[in-house]
């Protein structure tokens, strides 16, 4: 299990124990964290699972695949540190990661 902290746009924090091998979107939805809608169920086709990742964690994440990049390009609230949480696998390396959800997802 890996501790992940999801932070809503208003600052409300949700700490969850995520199972390694699942992804961050599943970690949120399995724990009823508001702000991760995941309309497409993890197919990298909706961008309603977007998170902002602090710079210090970026290097620990897998690089974006083309499809994730394309989805984020169409996302109004995307920033340079945006990722789709369904594309990030949970592992020990992410212990304690803190990610934020955009105001559009609540
Ligand atoms: Fe749809 Fe991540 S759940 S893009």
Q: What is the pLDDT of residues 45-85, one digit of tens each?
A: 999 999 999 999 999 999 999 999 999 999 989 999 999 99
Report the SS3 class of residue 51. strand
Rounded to whole angstroms, the Cα distance separating 29 from 24 reads 9
Calculate mean pLDDT across residues 11-22.
97
51: domain CATH number is: 3.10.20.30
Copy the structure tokens of residue 50.
């977007």
User: Into how many domains does the chain fold?
Assistant: 1
pLDDT at 102 over 80: yes
pLDDT of residue 38: 95
For residues 19-37, give the mean pLDDT. 96
The verdict on residue 106 lying in a domain is no
- In angstroms, rounded to a whole number, what is the distance separating the alpha carbons of residues 104 and 62? 25
Q: What per-residue confidence (pLDDT) applies to 11? A: 96
* Cα–Cα distance for residue pair 90/22, rounded to 1 Å: 6
Among residues of the chain, what percentage have pLDDT more than 70? Answer: 100
**11 alpha carbon to ligand 1 midpoint, in Å?**
22
Residue 106: pLDDT band (50, 70, 90) is: confident
Q: Give the pLDDT score at 105.
A: 80
Range of the domain at 56: 2-100
Which of the listed residues 23, 69, 86 should we mutate to test ligand 1's pocket, taking the one with most ligand atoms within 8 A of CB?
86
Nearest atom in ligand 1 to the alpha carbon of residue 44 is 4
Residue 58 in any domain: the answer is yes
22 pLDDT more than 90: yes
């Amino acid at each position: 299990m890996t501790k992940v902290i999801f932070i809503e746009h208003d600052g409300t924090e949700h700490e969850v124990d995520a199972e390694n091998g699942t992804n961050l979107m599943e970690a949120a939805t399995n724990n009823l964290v508001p702000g991760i809608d995941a309309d497409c169920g993890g197919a990298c086709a909706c961008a309603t699972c977007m998170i902002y990742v602090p710079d210090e964690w970026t290097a620990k994440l897998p690089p974006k695949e083309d499809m994730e990049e394309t989805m984020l390009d169409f996302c109004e609230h995307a920033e340079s540190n945006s990722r789709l949480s369904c594309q990030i696998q949970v592992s020990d390396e992410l212990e304690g990661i803190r990610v934020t959800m955009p105001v559009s997802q609540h």
